[in-house]
Amino acid sequence: RRMAIAPCCYNRTRHELYQALSSEGKASGLKLSRDELGLPLSETVTAGARVRRQRDISMARRLGFDLLQRRLRGIDDYLPTPSLPTSWLDASYADYCNHLAKLKHLPAPGQQDWAALEAAGWKRLAEVRNLELVRDLFRRPLEMWLVL
């Protein structure tokens, strides 16, 4: 018989910070937030190429829209957007942003340089991916610490 131990649900704790239960974990003094505990779960290695591409398009569009909504609201703050059906990815970028602005009750975007805005979203996605590379360096060590 074999038993697999996987750090899968530690981020669902009701406590603000997670303190390890093992003596080794306690000795480390490391206390992690729920967000930090979710790090081992953040990788999507099982998704196929089509799903990964859709996720990239969706993220790039959202990141471009984030720049637009900051301009429209005059507030330099992130505005959460709901999960959207993949059919939204078939729309032009202008239609996508107009629909999302309406959904979030923002002023109509009017004339915009949609190509530049979409390109800015892709640029921001590349920056996010670079930050993820650094974050990913800590994924496996954190998994090992959690199963102590």
Residues 100-131 have pLDDT tens digits of 999 999 999 999 999 999 999 999 999 999 99
Contacts 24+ apart (CB under 8 A), 119-123: 119/64, 120/63, 120/64, 120/67, 121/60, 121/61, 121/62, 121/63, 121/64, 121/65, 121/66, 121/67, 122/60, 122/64
- The identity of residue 123, as a single letter, is K
pLDDT score at 47: 65
Helix, strand, or coil here: 26? helix
Which residues touch 23 (CB under 8 Å, ≥6 apart)?
A: none
- Say whether pLDDT at 78 is over 70: yes
Domain ranges of the chain: 10-43+137-146, 49-135
> Position of tokens 């990788």?
43
Q: What percent of the chain has pLDDT over 90?
A: 49
CA distance between the termini of the chain: 20
Condensed to tens digits (0 to 9), the pLDDT of residues 46-62 reads 568 888 899 999 999 99
Looking at residue 45, what is its pLDDT?
A: 58
